[in-house]
Amino acid sequence: MIQPERVHILNRKPERPGQYVLYWMQASQRAEYNHALEYALHLANQRNKPLVVGFGLTDTFPEANLRHYRFMLEGLRETQAALRERGIQMAVRLGQPDDVAVELAHAAALAVTDRGYLRIQRRWRASAAERMACPLIQVEGDVVVPVETASAKEEYSAATLRPKIHRRLAEFLVPLREGLPRVDSLGLNLDSVPLADESAVLSLLNIDRSVPPSPLFRGGTAEAKHRLAKFVRNHLRHYADLRNDPNEDAASHMSPYLHFGQISPLYIALEVQREGGSGAEAYLEELIVRRELSMNFVFYNPHYDSPDSLPSWALKTLAEHEEDAREYLYSRDELERGQTHDTYWNAAQREMIVTGKMHGYMRMYWGKKILEWTPSAAEAFRIALYLNNKYELDGRDPNGFAGVAWCFGKHDRPWASRPVFGSVRYINANGLRRKFDADAYVRKVQRMAAP
């Protein structure tokens, strides 16, 4: 059953005879535990029509580069094959996603799509809804509790969102039943980019190739589920105690897969909940409350990618300390190359450049130091987003925007005032050393980055 709160009608066009029902896949790039896919399949079976999945492969997504596209294409290839096994054809076409959706909808009785929260994703859906001649229905499946169900406004912090999510959680934290098509669509003659060779597809795209693919992370639902199973089996019970120590392999590494929709947050939550314990409780807080706070942020705050998104107290205190002397100042290029006096910060930057993922606690330290070492909060905000979005596999994402903004006071409270930061929370190297062996972390990254 798809909860009605997940479903939004994006236009009021009349349903047409059509050859098939279209699922325009964009955010939920997976063949299982996909609410939009199952809803579209249900509608297709009701009408005794085949289901077609369409995907628009654009090379103009802001700040995306070779690292991101390789990971995404690895997942799309697996998704296309998994759908074929279910008798569902997936057509991947080069072009702007809304253009591809409108093109495929010409022969559709109606269309279903998944939901994205960023400005560009919402613009694609609004454009397609306006231009399609058939109905377009949006189904929200990349959060556990739908954003507008959880809250009708931007929340101040996790503390204000948490009780609202928990009041509705039992309704949505339930397994998703998957179906099979009554009529398969494999015989339909639809053009598609062949995904068997990711390198050949990449050669068709005019993208930034300066950031190589991650040597540690391969895309796809199977890889995501393998990593999740290993995490639940070996590390979940220690998660509450060890999650902030980058020397321990206590992280699930789900964020790249969640970013590309290659695994469902609901599936993850159910697997973790089944295990139980204090580790599960701590992990579900991060997966559901904290992650969905970031969706709340980008959905309700139009300035999510600028300092204008910060709370008034943070803007005020940062402005009051704008002229404070900085002991160190670094340019964007020096920061990007990891050429600072701080070996811990340099290691974190190097970890991100090499692997495409920085440990979460180090990412907080990393962002705070950029604020400390640049002439203004506005410049620091731009640099942090630039580096995060360029190198992180989970960059250009609600979690990334919220994480950067947190370093400048978002979703936090005022602390004791100090130079440069004012009353924005401060983190220093001594704090790292109190929590874990920071020098061991540096050595770990050096081994990781060795040729």
pLDDT along the chain (451 residues), means of 10: 95 97 98 98 98 98 97 98 98 98 98 98 98 98 98 98 98 97 97 94 97 97 98 96 94 97 98 94 98 98 98 98 97 98 98 96 97 98 98 96 98 98 96 95 89 62
Q: How far apart are CA 403 and CA 409, in angstroms?
A: 10
**Cα dihedral 313, 316, 320, 322 sign:** positive
Distance, in Å, from the CA atom of 373 to the CA atom of 352, rounded to the nearest integer, reads 19
Phi then psi dihedrals of residue 111, to 5 deg: -135, 145
What domains are defined for the chain? Answer: 1-142 (3.40.50.620), 143-177+219-300 (1.25.40.80), 307-449 (1.10.579.10)
Yes or no: say if 402 and 297 are a contact pair by the CB < 8 Å rule: yes
Query: What is the C-alpha to C-alpha distance for residues 328 and 252, in angstroms, rounded to an integer?
Result: 35
Distance CA 251, CA 258 (A): 14
The pLDDT value recorded for residue 450 is: 67
Q: % helix / strand / coil in the chain, to the nearest 5?
A: 50, 10, 40
> In angstroms, rounded to a whole number, what is the distance separating the alpha carbons of residues 413 and 418?
14
Alpha-carbon distances of 174 from 169, 182, 270, rounded to whole Å: 9, 25, 8
Both tokens of residue 239? Answer: 């998660």
Name 9's bridge partners.
137
pLDDT score recorded for residue 451: 62
Tokens of 18: 């059509």
pLDDT of residue 364: 96
Q: And the tokens for 119?
A: 């400005």
Query: What does the alpha-carbon distance between residue 257 and residue 253 come to, in Å, rounded to a whole number?
Result: 8
**Cβ within 8 Å of residue 370, ≥6 positions away:** 335, 380, 383, 384, 387, 407
DSSP classification of residue 6: G
**Would residue 417 be called left, alpha or beta, if left means φ above 0 and alpha means ψ between -120 and 50 degrees?**
beta
Give the position of tokens 């105690």: 241
